[in-house]
């Protein structure tokens, strides 16, 4: 019999399981404390649960984590993990330490369906969605190895909104005080732009930050970079963004990697300015991190700064993101599990 991972259960299901085993309600809370606060990967370690209950629970369930197959660290402290899943497939996760926060960039799929021209993950093809436990365990294993995690970004391998059920269930655990207890301001979901799923996320009540992997506001240019644009053009994405419910003081992040001679021209800036009318947004300009087999080249720094200046002149908040982890192929667009220790 295959045992069920407790981290694949909702809080309500854990409550029901505890009651079905004849235990008082507070045992469910104790279990959640072990799973999401104390980083448990073994039911036997849950020492404040009665031994008989632990043995009964372990007969049908597990708290199993992920195995670290490989790990690389950059000089700035960024760490890239290669985790092995139960079926032998692997995913990558990145830990990014900063002065006032520690961010973990997590994956939601093995591979990706969307094959963006600049992204290494897309070259893998798509294998499967990650389970709820596999998503949560990336945070847990990172905490076990690297220490405290204050922020989570769904920007690793795969398209989060294409694995909607598992991702939104993970968000519920991350936000919940009995889960990871991470505030909604500290969690961001990034998407290639799936309008119906953006609407659905907005209506979920999860209040998470939203980032759009945009990269161009001209449909012809964006379709060249991101084939998904042929089905979901810029106008459809912007319409969904305009209706996305934002908490006070927040804005949707538009992620734009600038490529030399492709999307860094004056007309590209103007197209972006026009597209963002009516959308409460900020722009992150990202340096392209070279990917083997991809002919695109990063835009020169002076052109990136000129692009930023033009956006700010149009009263659009714009920052140039500091690239982290490029030395270990852990930066934006570089994840694909071709891992060298």
CATH of the domain at 42: 1.10.150.530
Domain contains 79: yes
If you ran DSSP here, which 8-state letter would residue 336 be given? S
Domain count for the chain: 2
Residue 333 lies in a domain: no
* Contact in structure between 255 and 286 (CB atoms under 8 Å): yes
67-81, 230-244, 321-335: least confident range: 321-335
H-only helix segments in 69-206: 132-146, 164-175, 195-203
Chain centroid, CA 133 distance in Å = 15
Is 340 within a domain? Answer: no
Within a domain: 339: no
**Residue 294, pLDDT above cutoff 50:** yes
Strands 252-258 and 209-213: parallel
Please pick, among 92, 141, 159, 329, the residue that the annotation labels catalytic: 92
- The pLDDT of residue 335 is 46
| Interatomic CA distance for residues 40 and 144, integer angstroms | 9
Judge contact between 134 and 167, C-beta under 8 A: no
Mean pLDDT, range 278-286, rounded to an integer: 96
- pLDDT at residue number 97: 95
Same domain, 159 and 228: yes
Looking at the structure, do residues 131 and 233 belong to the same domain, yes or no?
A: yes
pLDDT at residue 341 tops 90: no
Average confidence (pLDDT) over 246-263: 95
pLDDT digit string, tens, across residues 26-59: 999 999 999 999 999 999 999 999 999 999 999 9
Instruction: Establish if 336 belongs to a structural domain.
Output: no
Q: Are residues 113 and 27 in the same domain?
A: no
Specify whether 46 is located in the same domain as 195.
no
The helix, strand and coil proportions of the chain, stated in percent and rounded to the nearest 5, come to: 40, 20, 40
Secondary structure letter of residue 113 according to DSSP:
S
Confidence at residue 339, expressed as pLDDT on a 0 to 100 scale? 47
Question: Would you say residue 74 has pLDDT above 70?
Answer: yes
Contact status, residue 288 vs residue 257, Cβ threshold 8 Å: yes
Q: Does 163 share its domain with 290?
A: yes
Distances (CA, A) of 281 to 119, 225, 255, 276: 24, 21, 10, 7
Name the CA dihedral angle for 123, 163, 218, 263, rounded to a multiple of 10 degrees.
Answer: -40
Given this model, what pLDDT does residue 324 score? 56
Q: Strands 67-73 and 4-5: what pairing?
A: unpaired
Only one residue has tokens 């632990």, namely: 54
Residue % of the chain over a pLDDT of 70:
94
In terms of DSSP H, where are the helices of the chain? Answer: 11-20, 26-32, 51-60, 132-146, 164-175, 195-203, 219-225, 234-242, 266-275, 301-313
Q: Are residues 231 and 317 in the same domain?
A: yes
Q: Given the structure tokens 């404040």, which residue do they identify?
A: 48
Six-digit token string for 287: 């340096």
Model confidence at 252: pLDDT above 70: yes
Looking at the fold, whether 282 and 319 belong to one and the same domain comes out as yes
Residue 332 among the catalytic residues: yes
Cβ atoms 62, 5 nearer than 8 A = yes
Measured CA angle at 38 (ends 32, 39), to 5 deg:
90
Per-residue pLDDT, averaged over 273-300, amounts to 91
β-bridge partners, 105: 94, 153
Residue 250 belongs to some domain of the structure? yes
Based on the domain organization, do 240 and 124 belong to the same domain? Answer: yes
Contact criterion met (CB below 8 Å) for 103 and 78: no
Out of 47, 62, 77, pick the residue that ends a domain.
62
Given 105, 116, 241, 332, the catalytic residue:
332
Which of the listed residues 62, 83, 103 is the one where a domain comes to its end?
62
Return the residue matching tokens 């093809």.
Answer: 125
Percentage of residues of the chain with pLDDT beyond 90:
87
Q: What are the tens digits of pLDDT across the range 320-338?
A: 987 654 554 444 544 455 5
53 and 189 share a domain?
no
- Residue 337 belongs to a domain: no
Domain of residue 36 covers 4-62
Please indicate whether residue 92 is annotated as part of the active site: yes
- Are 57 and 111 members of one domain? no
Mean pLDDT of 268-279: 97
Boundary-marking domain end, from 15, 42, 62:
62
Residues 164 and 40 in one domain: no
State how far the Cα of 215 lies from the Cα of 201, in Å rounded to an integer. Answer: 22
pLDDT per position as a tens digit, 92-150:
999 999 999 999 999 999 999 999 999 888 888 999 999 999 999 999 999 999 999 99
CATH number of the domain to which 275 belongs: 3.20.20.70
In a domain, 335, yes or no: no
Q: Do 23 and 128 fall within a single domain?
A: no
């Amino acid at each position: 019999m295959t045992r069920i991972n407790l981290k694949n259960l909702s809080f309500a299901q854990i409550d029901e399981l505890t009651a079905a085993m004849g235990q008082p309600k507070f045992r469910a809370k104790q279990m959640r404390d072990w799973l999401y606060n104390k980083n448990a990967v073994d039911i036997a370690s849950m020492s404040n649960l009665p031994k008989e209950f632990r043995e009964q629970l372990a007969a049908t369930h597990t708290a199993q984590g992920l195995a670290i197959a490989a790990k690389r660290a950059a000089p700035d402290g960024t760490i890239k993990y290669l985790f092995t899943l139960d079926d032998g497939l692997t995913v990558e996760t990145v830990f990014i330490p900063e002065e006032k926060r520690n961010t973990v960039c997590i994956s939601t799929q093995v591979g990706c369906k969307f094959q963006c021209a600049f992204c290494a993950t897309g070259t893998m093809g798509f294998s499967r969605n990650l389970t709820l436990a596999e998503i949560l365990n990336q945070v847990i294993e990172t905490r076990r190895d690297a220490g405290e995690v204050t922020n989570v970004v769904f920007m690793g391998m795969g398209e989060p909104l294409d694995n909607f059920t598992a991702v939104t269930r993970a968000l519920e655990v991350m936000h919940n005080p009995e889960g990871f207890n991470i505030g909604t301001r500290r969690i961001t979901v990034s998407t290639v732009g799936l309008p119906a799923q953006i609407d659905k996320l907005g209506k979920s009540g999860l209040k998470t930050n939203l980032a759009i992997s945009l990269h161009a506001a001209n449909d012809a240019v964006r379709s060249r970079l991101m084939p998904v644009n042929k089905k979901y053009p810029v106008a459809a994405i912007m319409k969904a963004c305009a209706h996305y419910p934002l908490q006070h003081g927040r804005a949707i992040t538009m992620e734009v990697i600038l490529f030399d001679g492709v999307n860094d021209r004056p007309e590209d800036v103007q197209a972006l300015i026009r597209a963002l009318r009516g959308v409460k947004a900020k722009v992150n300009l990202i340096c392209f991190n070279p990917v083997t087999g991809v002919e695109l080249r990063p835009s020169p720094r002076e052109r990136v700064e000129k692009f930023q200046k033009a956006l700010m002149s149009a009263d659009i908040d714009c920052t140039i993101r500091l690239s982290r982890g490029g030395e270990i192929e852990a930066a934006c667009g570089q994840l694909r599990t071709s891992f060298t220790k």
